[in-house]
Amino acid sequence: MDSGEFFSALKDRFPDIVEMKDGMATFKMYVAGNWIGNSSKPVKDPDNNSVLCNVSIADLELVDKALDSAREKKETMKSLSGDEKIAILEKAADLLKASRELFVTALVKNVGKPIKEAEGEVDATIERIRRVKSDSQRIQGDFIPGEWAKPNRGRIAIVLREPVGVVLAIAPFNMPLFISYTKVIPALLAGNTVILRPPSLVPIAPIMMGKILEEAGLPAGALNIIPTATDVASYLATRDEVDMITFTGSTEVGLKLTKISGIKRIHLELGGKAAALVMKDCGDIKSAAQNIVAGSTKFSGQRCDAISRVLVHSTHEERLTREIVTLVRKLKTGDPFSRETDIGPLIDSRAVDRVDGLVKDAVEKGARILVGGKSNGNYFKPTVLSNVPLSAKIMWEETFGPVIPIHSFSDEEEAVDIINSSEYGLDNAIFTDDIRTAWRLGKKLESGEISINCFPSHGIGFFPFGGVKKSGLGREGISYSIDEFTNLKTVVYNIG
């Protein structure tokens, strides 16, 4: 559907969240249980850089109102029974499924996602919400008898999990619906209130989901959705009313948050520089190439877990490179609404300039462009670079674009040292036919997750994920997120 049809359908389905001004849709924010308009900023369509709509931006007065609302509703959320919270969230999953096409369209138009990937994000969000019963099983306490330690004899302890309080959730542009609500959903289930600051470039789907939760019966004020300027978001992070920050985004911003937030719980999922390590004992080079291309180019490489450098044993370099180039040449770039499209646009022109700069730097230092290397508007053609030296920036900096740099090695320890020399430690992949090699390298590599014979993909969060070093703090995932959103309280009884 075109923009006019989309906003017309959106206005029919969600009349509270959007208003038409001079033929342009303007999205409201959700504060203290009310949908509020304010001064706005334009939101663009990455496909053609045209203005898609406007979104209301919260000023300090509205931010303080959201803080007051979240604080006042802490006891309301804490007192809701587990069954009541699960019922609300399961209803939200049903409502989201009923409006699936609208959400898919929002992701295609606002994020530039190829429609197949947009559908995958919406479906993953529905499935993630339906898994809340698994999360709920984590909200349990412990019984500790004191008889095992002489000073504690005659006492017992009950260890409870309680909500942390007010959670500030800050989400990235690359999966605005899924990542926003993989923060919001377990936080609410644990009994917290949430202030969601949606990604400023792509706020539409997260705002729509707020209306879904309101319709599902979430207590008014328990969730506030406030698009803000960067300085206002920083103000939020410093406020004592905020008990926890959960942030997914750049390492640069994550480091800033740790410095300004003060003493509060913080969860960070930051940058990554995943390597695909193709060992000498890898027997299926074709499969390795397929996984590398998929892991490098999905959503145009705009993922923190994307494979963004390839280290291949010299005995396989020529064949692996040939297989990768063949696969990349088959990728189709173009209209995100076409089901034939594999590669959509990057999020904006700044992203294109950044990727282009990394490719040019690699070429200046001796790399060869085997395919791609050019851009058209916000589209960057999928690119393969061979003979990439370690001095090239693209071997160390996050790429966030569909570029596959290939570097060969002859010694295992050399490859391990290259990978572990990165400041990032989110994901890495190993391709080998020997389980002993997989285990040995899996133990040596410094990252939160190691994928063996497949590309990193966190899916709905069935496996826990998160990074080490400058890739972050804490873990997300079904049941594991609950640990981040709860505090332990120990109640000791003297029964002696």
Domain-located, residue 467: no
306's enclosing H/E stretch is none
Name the residue range of residue 142's domain.
3-270+474-489
CATH of the domain at 319: 3.40.309.10
State yes or no: is 304 an active-site residue: yes
Collapsing DSSP states into helix, strand and coil, what is residue 138? coil
Q: What is the DSSP letter of 151?
A: G
pLDDT, residue 2, reads: 79
**Contacts for 25 with CB less than 8 Å, ≥ 6 apart:** 7, 10, 11, 18, 19, 53, 54
What's the maximum distance between 2 C-alpha atoms anywhere in the chain?
77
Return the closest-CA partner of residue 77 out of 186, 189, 183, 184: 189
How many distinct structural domains can be found in the chain? 2
Q: Within this chain, do residues 288 and 142 fall inside the same structural domain, yes or no? A: no
How far apart, in whole angstroms, are the C-alpha atoms of residue 18 and residue 439? 53
Catalytic residue among 214, 269, 317, 397: 269
Q: Which residues pair with 53 in a beta bridge?
A: 43
Q: Within this chain, do residues 310 and 416 fall inside the same structural domain, yes or no? A: yes
Domain-located, residue 232: yes
Catalytic residue among 214, 304, 317, 484: 304
pLDDT, residue 23, reads: 81
CATH of the domain at 226: 3.40.605.10
Q: Within this chain, do residues 250 and 369 fall inside the same structural domain, yes or no? A: no
Q: Is 178 exposed, middle or buried (0-12, 13-18, 19+ CB in 10 A)?
A: buried
Chain centroid to CA 318: how far?
34
pLDDT, residue 111, reads: 97
Domain-located, residue 494: no
Return the closest-CA partner of residue 381 out of 372, 371, 368, 394: 372
Q: Is 487 exposed, middle or buried (0-12, 13-18, 19+ CB in 10 A)?
A: middle
Rg from Cα positions in the chain? 24
Q: How many CA atoms lie within 13 A of 304 on its CB side?
A: 28
Domain-located, residue 496: no
Q: Within this chain, do residues 225 and 283 fall inside the same structural domain, yes or no? A: no
How far apart, in whole angstroms, are the C-alpha atoms of residue 58 and residue 64? 10
Query: What residue has token string 């206005």?
Result: 11
Q: Within this chain, do residues 91 and 191 fall inside the same structural domain, yes or no? A: yes
Q: Within this chain, do residues 14 and 145 fall inside the same structural domain, yes or no? A: yes
Domain-located, residue 184: yes
Per-residue pLDDT tens digits of the chain, which is 496 residues long: 778 889 999 999 999 999 988 789 999 999 999 999 999 999 999 999 999 999 999 999 999 999 999 999 999 999 999 999 999 999 999 999 999 999 999 999 999 999 999 999 999 999 999 999 999 998 988 999 999 998 999 999 999 999 999 999 999 999 999 999 999 999 999 999 999 999 999 999 999 999 999 999 999 999 999 999 888 889 999 999 999 999 999 999 999 999 999 999 999 999 999 999 999 999 999 999 999 999 999 999 999 999 999 999 999 999 999 999 999 999 999 999 999 999 999 999 999 999 999 999 999 999 999 999 999 999 999 999 999 999 999 999 999 999 999 999 999 999 999 999 999 999 999 999 999 999 999 999 999 999 999 999 998 999 999 999 999 999 999 999 999 999 999 999 999 8
Q: Looking at 198-337, which runs of residues are DSSP E strands?
A: 223-225, 244-248, 265-269, 274-278, 307-313
Dihedral of alpha carbons 89, 205, 73, 134, sign: positive
Termini Cα distance of the chain: 72
Phi, psi of 145 (to 5 degrees): -75, 140
DSSP 353-396: HHHHHHHHHHHHTT-EEEE---EETTEE--EEEES--TTSGGGT
Domain-located, residue 466: no
Q: Within this chain, do residues 258 and 378 fall inside the same structural domain, yes or no? A: no
Q: What is the DSSP letter of 300?
A: G
What is the pairing mode between strands 375-376 and 427-431? Answer: unpaired
**Contacts for 299 with CB less than 8 Å, ≥ 6 apart:** 113, 114, 117, 174, 344
Query: Contact, 358 vs 364, CB < 8 A?
Result: no
**Contacts for 210 with CB less than 8 Å, ≥ 6 apart:** 17, 30, 196, 223, 225
**Contacts for 407 with CB less than 8 Å, ≥ 6 apart:** 309, 310, 311, 312, 387, 388, 389, 390, 395, 418
Q: Within this chain, do residues 163 and 104 fall inside the same structural domain, yes or no? A: yes
Domain-located, residue 319: yes
pLDDT, residue 22, reads: 79
Q: Within this chain, do residues 297 and 421 fall inside the same structural domain, yes or no? A: yes
Output the six-digit token pair for 63: 């931010």
Output the six-digit token pair for 199: 């990604």
Domain-located, residue 468: no
Q: How many residues does the chain have?
A: 496
Query: Contact, 173 vs 202, CB < 8 A?
Result: yes
Query: Contact, 333 vs 379, CB < 8 A?
Result: yes
Q: Within this chain, do residues 249 and 332 fall inside the same structural domain, yes or no? A: no
Output the six-digit token pair for 313: 């044993």
Residue type, 37: G
Query: Contact, 93 vs 181, CB < 8 A?
Result: no
Q: Within this chain, do residues 11 and 28 fall inside the same structural domain, yes or no? A: yes
Return the closest-CA partner of residue 309 out of 235, 183, 415, 224: 415
pLDDT, residue 496, reads: 81
325: left (phi over 0), alpha (psi -120 to 50) or beta: alpha
Q: Within this chain, do residues 76 and 172 fall inside the same structural domain, yes or no? A: yes
Dihedral of alpha carbons 162, 164, 165, 171, sign: negative
